[in-house]
């Protein structure tokens, strides 16, 4: 049976309605499959489906589990199921089959989730737009000429379009929050070491990356964080509160919030600024204190080292895959920009890694004092929500130049040019990286829609392990008209 209202339901709705016998878990699965088959040809957000496996999962699922019957999609990055494709968006891994199920996914399966497929992403999750050469671009459900963001863009488009209630993502510089903003969703990045990273990579990308989900509601995000919680590497932090979901019901005392709408890179879209200021007014009406301020950190060095970390980690990843695949990787195996990043990383001084971590840790220490003065730091999520498909990719001329440079083994010498291109891309997304570099929790809430029909997000950060505080703040805003809710079709 196809469920008429399926596209509007969040995961908790689904679980509750199944328990009330208003429909069955199989009805939910059938509705999800119908939505994917109907919408994916237009959006290209789902790259693999495994319907037979999903049906087997449903047969084995415990009907008393907290997420029984919730159909989800997995981002094809670190979220593996044994016996299914795992490509990281690269033609190098187009035939790669997972040999094990990652801890993160296993916890979701044990909680009753039914995984029906995998979502699109840029190669190795390296960009803020989802346009890999292997699978082609994912389109924004609100405006097909525009990007849904990245790197979890396939997941965001799948949830926003109503294919599933929840899809997984990971966030190493905004990769959950950026697409959540551009697709009108709630995007939450937990504190570092709060969720499991997997058996191959633990402190992924120098500690930048955290796993979580993209959701329609705050309560879904909180419930999933309860289920995911607990790092599976050599570090473990005791859960700061008993339940993130139950925390949503507690009253929120007035907070002191620092507000900033200016970017180090300069221009911020007026519509994003206006949405942020409107949310600030709502917060003031609740009794929260808003002051214009921002962290006094060296943003130039932070952005510079963020790009350096991309060089280093891409070089490491290709070396790792060469050893794993027993294959010499050439520019024919990956996208030219990826190959150039790795080759630059190969030539960097070994001390740079330590220098990067020292700066990030020093910045994190400073942020402790910032969050003694303020409870929350508030900005727009993006400087520019209007990313047309293709606009952030290398042009044909630039790609030809990259290939030519690689053949001449001159990659390192174009490092300043590559950095300039990277800074141009970061200028669209300047507010999200700080939370990753310092390991702090952050979120994007949906707060309006632009003149080009792209949703707008407002961004919040807080101190380490203050995830529950942000979730409570989001819940307070979710109950106001400022929270963007797409019109039902």
Catalytic residue among 45, 90, 151, 263: 151
The 10 Å Cβ neighbour count of residue 85 is 18
Q: What is the DSSP string of 156-210?
A: HHHHHTTS-SEEEEEESSSTTHHHHHHTT-EEEEPPTTSS---SS-SSTTTTT-E
In whole angstroms, what separates CA 63 from the centre of its chain?
30
Task: Give yes or no: 391 in active site.
Answer: no
Q: How many Å is the Cα radius of gyration of the chain?
A: 21
Nearest alpha carbon to residue 254 among 292, 221, 293, 291 = 291
Q: Rounded distance, CA 471 to CA 468, Å?
A: 5
3-state class of 410 per DSSP?
Answer: coil
Catalytic residue among 75, 118, 216, 466: 75
Q: What is the DSSP string of 11-27?
A: HHHHHHHHHTTSS-HHH
Q: Are 213 and 168 in contact (CB under 8 A)?
A: yes
Give the helix/strand (H/E) hosting 362: helix 351-373
Q: Residue 442: what are its φ and ψ, rounded to 5°?
A: -155, 160
Task: Give yes or no: 45 in active site.
Answer: no
Give the helix/strand (H/E) hosting 347: helix 336-347
Catalytic residue among 77, 102, 175, 263: 175
As given in the structure block, the two tokens for residue 295 are 């962290």
Helices (H), 290-335: 299-325
Q: Are 83 and 145 in contact (CB under 8 A)?
A: no
Encode 196-209: b = buried (16+ Cβ within 10 Å), e = exposed: bbbeeeeebbbbbb
Give the helix/strand (H/E) hosting 476: helix 467-478
Q: Are 65 and 107 in contact (CB under 8 A)?
A: no
Task: Give yes or no: 404 in active site.
Answer: no
Q: Which residues pair with 114 in a beta bridge?
A: 71
Nearest alpha carbon to residue 475 among 221, 126, 173 = 221
CA torsion angle 322 325 330 334 (round to 10): -110
* DSSP secondary structure letter of residue 124: G
**Ramachandran quadrant class, 212 (left: phi over 0; alpha: psi -120 to 50; beta: rest):** beta
Beta strands in 412-481 (DSSP E): 442-449, 455-462
Catalytic residues: 75, 151, 175
């Amino acid at each position: 049976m196809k469920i008429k209202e399926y596209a509007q339901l969040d995961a908790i709705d689904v679980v509750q309605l199944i328990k009330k016998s208003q429909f069955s878990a199989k009805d939910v699965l059938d509705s999800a499959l119908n939505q994917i088959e109907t919408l994916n040809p237009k959006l290209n957000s789902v790259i693999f489906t495994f319907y037979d496996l999903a049906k087997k999962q449903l047969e084995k699922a415990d009907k008393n589990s907290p997420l029984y019957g919730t159909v989800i999609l997995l981002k094809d990055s670190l979220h593996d199921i044994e016996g299914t494709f795992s490509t990281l968006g690269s033609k190098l891994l187009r035939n790669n089959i997972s040999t094990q199920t990652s801890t993160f996914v296993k916890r979701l399966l044990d909680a009753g989730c039914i995984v029906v497929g995998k979502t699109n992403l840029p190669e190795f999750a390296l960009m803020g737009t989802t346009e890999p050469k292997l699978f082609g671009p994912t389109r924004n459900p609100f405006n097909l000429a525009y990007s849904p963001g990245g790197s979890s863009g396939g997941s965001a488009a799948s949830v926003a379009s109503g294919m599933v209630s929840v899809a997984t993502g990971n966030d190493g510089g905004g990769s959950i929050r950026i697409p959540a903003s551009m697709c009108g969703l709630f995007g939450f990045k937990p504190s570092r070491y709060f969720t499991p990273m997997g058996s191959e990579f633990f402190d992924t990308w120098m500690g930048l990356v955290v796993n979580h989900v993209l959701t329609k509601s705050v309560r879904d995000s909180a419930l999933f964080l309860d289920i995911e919680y607990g790092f599976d590497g050599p570090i473990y932090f005791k859960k700061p509160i008993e339940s993130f979901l139950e925390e949503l019901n507690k009253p929120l005392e007035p907070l002191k919030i620092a507000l900033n709408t200016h970017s180090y890179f300069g221009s911020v879209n007026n519509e994003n600024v206006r949405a942020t200021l409107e949310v600030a007014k709502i917060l003031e009406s609740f009794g929260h204190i808003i002051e214009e301020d921002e962290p006094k950190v060296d943003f130039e060095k932070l952005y510079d080292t963020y790009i350096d970390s991309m060089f280093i980690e891409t070089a490491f990843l290709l070396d790792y895959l060469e050893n794993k695949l027993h294959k010499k990787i050439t520019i024919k195996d990956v996208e030219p920009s990826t190959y150039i990043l790795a080759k630059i990383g190969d030539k960097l001084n070994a001390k740079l890694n330590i220098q990067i971590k020292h700066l990030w840790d020093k910045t994190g220490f400073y942020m402790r004092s910032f969050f003694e003065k303020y409870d929350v730091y508030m900005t727009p999520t993006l400087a520019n929500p209007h990313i047309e498909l293709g606009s952030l990719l290398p042009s044909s001329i630039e790609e030809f130049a990259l290939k030519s440079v690689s053949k001449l083994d001159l990659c390192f010498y174009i490092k300043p040019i590559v950095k300039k291109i990277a800074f141009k891309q970061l200028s669209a997304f300047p507010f999200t990286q700080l939370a990753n570099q310092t390991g702090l929790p952050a979120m994007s809430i949906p707060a309006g829609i632009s003149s080009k029909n792209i949703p707008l997000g407002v961004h919040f950060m807080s101190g380490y392990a203050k995830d529950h505080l942000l979730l409570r703040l989001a819940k307070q805003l979710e109950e106001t008209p400022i929270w963007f809710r797409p019109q039902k079709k």
